[in-house]
Amino acid sequence: MALLCIRIAMILVLFLAFSENYGFLRGVTSLGINYGQVGNNLPQPEKVLDLLSSLKLTKARIYDTNPQILTAFANSNVELIVTVENQMLAVLMDPQQAFQWVSTHIKPYFPATRITGIAVGNEVFTDSDTTLLTYLVPAIVSIHGALAQLGLDSYIHVSTPNSLAVLTESYPPSAGSFKTEVSGIMSQYLQFLSSTKAPFWINAYPYFAYKDKPDEVPLDYVLFNPNSGMIDPHTKLHYDNMLYAQVDAVIFAIARMGFDGIEVGVSETGWPSKGDADEVGAMVDNAAAYNKNILGRQFKSEGTPLRPNMRLEIYLFALFNEDMKPGPTSERNYGLFQPDCTMVYNVGISALSSPSSTSSASISLTSSATKVKT
């Protein structure tokens, strides 16, 4: 499998070098990909780095601080966001423990490995274990304090990814507001982000909105396909896709808490290429359309209607299909690639015969899919 990965990577390098002559892959600095590892047949990190380099992807997020990955990615141009697992939050509230954690899991690898962010937990505000929420901000503050002690705080931001379920209202976007039960801790968290200039990360999955109400949610609207869209009755802003509307709803929710100017980024988004019988819309064609269209927007460095001049940073989920993920079939089928580095689906790679078609081909190589929550 390792040899196959290398051969595929070499082919992609040659293809993308051809594509780059036409400018299709230049300047895409706001796109990243989630590199999950819940599988028993995934390639070694060195081969994953080869693949990312072939795809010209320079941003990735991992769900731990796997030393093999941090070592393999040293002296590369790939920026990494690493993750503190939820079960560690209680321990890392203690500043001394946080200092020890940063000294062990971050400092030995930096700056050779370009760690740019630490995600403290994942979707803690909506976790079923509500005690985690009381640990979150103290752990964030302690980790940031440890970075500051080591002189790393200006290089590495500290934040946490949030499920869209943290909102009590998201439609229309101007009605965006956080659930009242988390407002106290949310205010503390937003104060931290505001003072450190760190981004608010959201895991946003339009797929779930469509799956739950396929008769009410227009498919083209969630796939970024041409459609009439919707107009927010209060702001008169026009939205031609759900993801941007979801992001702007979060921006409005933050503003309602008295904060302005905090960057909102998408830490996960995508579409499954396969699902169970009741997972409406989970299919290859939709996954290809969603990811191709997102890539097209990213090449333009687009912002949302509310912040058109601020490029929206998006991390696609995920690089690989992960065979050990629990849950419905879709959970194991969000990857752009199979573990042997073959593509799960093709959204244009065969169209190499003319420069006019190279754009869609190059987009297919950097597109990906993810799990979605609303």
pLDDT of residue 295: 87
How many alpha carbons fall within 13 Å on the CB side of residue 233? 3
Q: In whole angstroms, what is the distance from residue 322 CA to residue 222 CA?
A: 24
Confidence at 299, pLDDT banded by 50, 70, 90: confident
Query: What is the average per-residue pLDDT within 285-293?
Result: 94
In the block, which residue shows the tokens 């396929």? Answer: 214
Confidence at 369, pLDDT banded by 50, 70, 90: very low
Active-site hit among 20, 79, 216, 268: 268
Flag whether 70 is in a domain.
yes
Flag whether 232 is in a domain.
yes
- Phi and psi at 269, nearest 5°, equal -165, 160
Flag whether 349 is in a domain.
no
Q: Cα angle at 265 between 318 and 39, to 5 degrees?
A: 20
Flag whether 362 is in a domain.
no
Q: In whole angstroms, what is the distance from residue 263 CA to residue 199 CA?
A: 5
Q: In this model, does residue 365 exceed pLDDT 50?
A: no
Do 273 and 333 touch, CB atoms closer than 8 A?
A: yes
Phi-psi region of 264 (alpha: psi -120 to 50; beta: other; left: phi over 0): beta
pLDDT of residue 31: 87
Confidence at 363, pLDDT banded by 50, 70, 90: very low
pLDDT of residue 8: 58
Q: Residue 323 maps to which CATH number?
A: 3.20.20.80
Flag whether 84 is in a domain.
yes
Confidence at 54, pLDDT banded by 50, 70, 90: confident
Please give the residue that has the higher pLDDT: either 53 or 148: 148
Query: What is the average per-residue pLDDT within 78-82?
Result: 97
pLDDT of residue 303: 96
List the one residue out of 317, 314, 284 whose CA is nearest residue 299.
Answer: 314
Q: In this model, does residue 364 exceed pLDDT 80?
A: no
Per-residue b or e along 135-173, where b marks 16 or more CB atoms closer than 10 Å to that residue's CB: bbbbbbbbbbbbbeeeebbeebbbbbbbbbebbebbbbb
Domain of 246 in residue numbering reads as 27-337
Active-site hit among 123, 263, 279, 322: 123
pLDDT of residue 296: 87
pLDDT of residue 99: 98
pLDDT of residue 358: 31
In this predicted model, what pLDDT tens digit does every residue of 216-274 receive, in sequence order?
999 999 999 999 999 999 999 999 999 999 999 999 999 999 999 999 999 999 999 99
Q: In this model, does residue 50 exceed pLDDT 80?
A: yes
Flag whether 13 is in a domain.
no
- Strand 238-239 versus strand 230-231 pairing type: antiparallel
Flag whether 360 is in a domain.
no
Flag whether 345 is in a domain.
no
Is residue 46 part of the annotated active site? The answer reads: no
Computed over every residue of the chain, the mean pLDDT equals 88
Q: In whole angstroms, what is the distance from residue 110 CA to residue 102 CA?
A: 11
Q: What total number of domains does the chain contain?
A: 1
Cβ of 96: how many Cβ atoms within 10 Å? 10
pLDDT of residue 349: 29
Q: In this model, does residue 41 exceed pLDDT 80?
A: yes
Is residue 123 part of the annotated active site? The answer reads: yes
Q: Is the dihedral of CA 364, 368, 372, 374 positive or negative?
A: negative
pLDDT of residue 1: 63
Q: In this model, does residue 338 exceed pLDDT 70?
A: yes
Query: What is the average per-residue pLDDT within 190-213?
Result: 98
Cis peptide before 172 (omega within 30 of 0): yes
Confidence at 9, pLDDT banded by 50, 70, 90: low
Query: What is the average per-residue pLDDT within 185-196?
Result: 98
Q: In this model, does residue 322 exceed pLDDT 50?
A: yes
pLDDT of residue 16: 45
